[in-house]
């Protein structure tokens, strides 16, 4: 279960809560509380909703693209902090939600910044497959301590969304066939220069190299996408995905390997 706060700006008040409330309920979420105010930008509707994590991206997509909605932001809510907000001492800063603990990098203590990631994901779902300008802007904006974990985590969420959108009705494939028939075509939607290289994927034109934001292998977002694509089916477990060579370190292509 996820608790999310949506902030919606619209130019009209009539029917706003009713129409968006329908989308929320149809996506399996419940409205916990809401508040409508009038600001300089228009009518501002703030809603806290609770519902299944796996439907969240689709819901954000529907809300963000609804014609009544002029602008849309989503942030995660730490439910326990919200419930005790009235009591002193002040609540701890919101902690990252543990919805996809397998998405956490093993090698860094820094955690994803979940509020920033949620805001990014709605835009990625709307603009897919042209997502890289958004992701690159996100990587530039986010604090360096959160950068790798946040971009990789955003990648896992997008990968899971792509799997559900395009591959969920397919046969149960083993890891090698999943790389060929799920990961490869999905990555080609994002980057046409993706090729199969034995059991690995080879990407010649990753936009995440040479941008001065990362040391070493730098395509954390792409690695996250692959993790989301291959973790989401469930029956593969959590394959180990590594970027074993990267143009950011002078290689001629970025290569991702897969192990069960
Ligand atoms: Zn790379």
Distance (angstroms) between ligand 1 centre and the Cα of 101 equals: 23
CA of residue 177 to ligand 1 center, whole Å: 23
pLDDT for position 169: 87
Residue 224 alpha carbon to ligand 1 centre in Å: 12
CA of 220 to the centre of ligand 1 (A): 8
CB 247 within 8 A of CB 206: yes
- Which value, in Å, is the radius of gyration of the alpha carbons in the chain? 19
Q: What is the structure's pLDDT at 216?
A: 94
pLDDT digits (tens, 9 = 90+) for 198-248: 999 999 999 999 999 998 999 999 999 999 999 999 999 999 999 999 999
Which residues of the chain are in CATH 3.30.70.260 domains? Answer: 2-79
Where does the chain hold its CATH 3.30.1380 domain(s)? 102-259
* CA-based nearest residue to 58, from 98, 114, 139, 4: 4
Q: What is the pLDDT of residue 97?
A: 40
143 CA → ligand 1 middle, Å: 20
What is the distance between the alpha carbons of residues 94 and 183, in angstroms, rounded to a whole number? 33
Q: Which residues of the chain have pLDDT under 50?
A: 79-109
Q: How far apart are CA 245 and CA 134, in angstroms?
A: 24
Q: What pLDDT, on the 0 to 100 scale, is given for residue 190?
A: 97
Look up the CATH superfamily of 2-79. Answer: ACT domain (3.30.70.260)
Output the CA 54–ligand 1 centroid distance in Å.
Answer: 28
- Give me ligand 1 centre to Cα 85, in Å: 43
> Is the whole model's pTM more than 0.75, yes or no?
no
Parallel, antiparallel or unpaired: strands 42-51 and 194-197: unpaired
CATH topology of domain 102-259: Muramoyl-pentapeptide Carboxypeptidase; domain 2 (3.30.1380)
**How high is the pLDDT of residue 205?**
95
Enumerate residues with CB within 5 Å of ligand 1 (an ion).
206, 219, 246, 254
The whole-angstrom separation of Cα 47 and Cα 36 is 9
Q: Measured in angstroms, how far is the CA atom of residue 57 from the centroid of ligand 1?
A: 26
pLDDT in the model for residue 37: 86
């Amino acid at each position: 279960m996820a608790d999310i706060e949506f902030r919606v700006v619209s130019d009209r008040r009539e029917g706003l809560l009713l129409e968006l409330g329908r989308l929320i309920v149809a996506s399996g979420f419940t409205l916990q509380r809401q508040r409508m105010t009038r600001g300089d930008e228009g009518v501002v509707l703030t809603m806290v909703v609770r519902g299944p994590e796996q439907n969240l991206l689709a819901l954000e997509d529907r809300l963000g693209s609804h014609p009544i909605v002029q602008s849309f932001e989503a942030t995660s809510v730490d439910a326990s902090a919200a419930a005790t907000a009235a009591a002193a001492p002040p609540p701890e800063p919101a902690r990252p939600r543990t919805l996809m603990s397998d998405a956490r990098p093993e090698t860094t203590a820094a955690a994803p910044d979940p509020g920033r990631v949620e805001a990014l994901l709605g835009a990625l779902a709307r603009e897919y497959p042209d997502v890289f300008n958004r992701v690159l802007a996100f990587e530039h904006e986010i604090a360096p301590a959160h950068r790798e974990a946040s971009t990789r985590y955003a990648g896992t969420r997008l990968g899971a969304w792509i799997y559900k959108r395009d591959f969920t009705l397919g046969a149960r494939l083993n890891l090698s066939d999943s790389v060929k028939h799920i990961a490869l075509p999905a990555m080609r939607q994002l980057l046409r220069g993706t090729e199969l290289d034995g059991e690995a994927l080879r990407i010649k034109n990753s936009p995440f190299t040479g941008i001065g934001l990362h040391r070493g292998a730098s395509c954390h977002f792409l690695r996250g996408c692959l993790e989301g694509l291959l973790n989401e089916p469930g029956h593969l477990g959590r394959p180990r995905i590594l970027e074993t060579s990267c143009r950011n370190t002078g290689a001629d292509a970025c290569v991702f390997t897969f192990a069960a």
